[in-house]
């Protein structure tokens, strides 16, 4: 009987062991393999968790979107806008991944509030942009999914389309900020003014209003995105002469 190398069992060389060449320990090798597999599994799980945190499919259409709830606050601070005795301090925050520059957004929102056709025209209201410290409200520009999540917690259904006023948060839907509304034919800057004036109007105590009559300007507190009802789109609470553009209160 021979081995495959052609030597008999008696002729096969023997391997000796000694202190300098310890015999292999199967238990040690097994533990090493188990530890390596566990480390690899943990690494994979961590990568999957990170991916899910950064990107998520919020409405089931297979498109990955930025994760919600992570906002960047504009570093800008401004002077008091208006003559009201108690300025309302506000921050501007932008959700990460939206592509909106916080500083530019803060400048645009401040300009809307400072316009002579805005809420400061009555000389009772005033505002101030801040970047830290206490604030009365926060203007947050966020993805539709994040707006739905935050507004939903306040009992408001924004269905991926509209904005809301939730607690101290003015939630601005990124879709509306970037594309406007089919009911508004003016420039995107005008529609952004409508967003800010409508939601800030809620902050200072105004409720919804209806169209005052065919061909007239729609009140800024009218939900114009749902139809103008014969009115003409309008983004300002006051006209150039300081007259309030209002309509019947909506129950």
The confidence score (pLDDT) of residue 6 equals: 38
- How many angstroms separate the CA atoms of 106 and 128, rounded? 11
- Helix (H) or strand (E) run with residue 62 in it: none
Q: Which residues pair with 232 in a beta bridge?
A: 217
33: left (phi over 0), alpha (psi -120 to 50) or beta: alpha
- Mean pLDDT per 10-residue segment, the chain (251 residues): 37 42 49 48 41 34 49 96 96 97 98 98 97 97 97 96 96 98 96 98 97 98 97 98 97 90
Q: Is 37 exposed, middle or buried (0-12, 13-18, 19+ CB in 10 A)?
A: exposed
* Domains of the chain, residue spans: 71-207
Give the CA count within 13 Å in the CB-facing half-sphere of 215: 0
Contact 51, 99 (CB under 8 A): no
Contact 128, 88 (CB under 8 A): yes
Q: Which residues pair with 142 in a beta bridge?
A: 173
The confidence score (pLDDT) of residue 69 equals: 78
Inter-axis angle of helices 102-114 and 188-203, nearest 10: 70
CA angle at residue 80 from 77 to 81, to 5 degrees? 110
Q: Which two tokens stand for residue 185?
A: 């034919």
Q: Which two tokens stand for residue 156?
A: 């408001």
Summarised one tens digit per residue, pLDDT across range 114-151 is 999 999 999 999 999 999 999 999 999 999 999 999 99
Residue positions counted in the chain: 251
The confidence score (pLDDT) of residue 25 equals: 52
Domain 71-207 has CATH 3.40.390: yes
The confidence score (pLDDT) of residue 221 equals: 98
Contact 234, 216 (CB under 8 A): no
| Of 45, 107, 48, 115, nearest in space to 75 by CA | 107
């Amino acid at each position: 009987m021979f081995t495959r190398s052609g030597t008999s069992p008696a002729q096969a060389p023997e391997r000796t062991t000694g202190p300098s060449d310890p015999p292999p320990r199967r238990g040690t090798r097994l533990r090493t393999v188990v530890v390596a597999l566990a480390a690899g599994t943990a690494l994979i799980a961590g990568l999957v968790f990170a991916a899910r945190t950064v990107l998520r499919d919020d409405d089931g259409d297979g498109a990955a979107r930025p994760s919600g709830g992570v906002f960047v606050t504009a570093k800008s601070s401004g002077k008091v806008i208006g003559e009201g005795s108690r300025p309302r301090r506000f921050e501007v925050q932008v959700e990460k991944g939206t592509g909106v520059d916080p500083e530019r957004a803060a400048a645009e929102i401040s300009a809307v509030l400072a316009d002579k056709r805005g809420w400061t025209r009555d000389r009772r209201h005033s505002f101030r942009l801040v970047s830290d410290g206490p604030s009365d409200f926060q203007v947050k520009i966020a993805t539709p999914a994040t707006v739905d999540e935050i507004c939903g917690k306040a009992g408001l259904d924004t269905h991926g389309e509209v904005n809301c006023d939730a607690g101290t948060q003015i939630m601005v839907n990124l879709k509306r900020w970037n594309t406007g509304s089919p009911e508004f034919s003016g420039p995107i800057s005008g529609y952004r003014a409508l967003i800010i004036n409508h939601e800030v109007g809620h902050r200072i105590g105004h409720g919804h209003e209806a169209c005052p009559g065919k061909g007239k300007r729609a009140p800024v507190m009218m939900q114009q995105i749902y139809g103008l009802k014969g009115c003409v789109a309008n983004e300002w609470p006051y006209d150039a002469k300081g007259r309030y553009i209002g309509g019947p209160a909506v129950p």
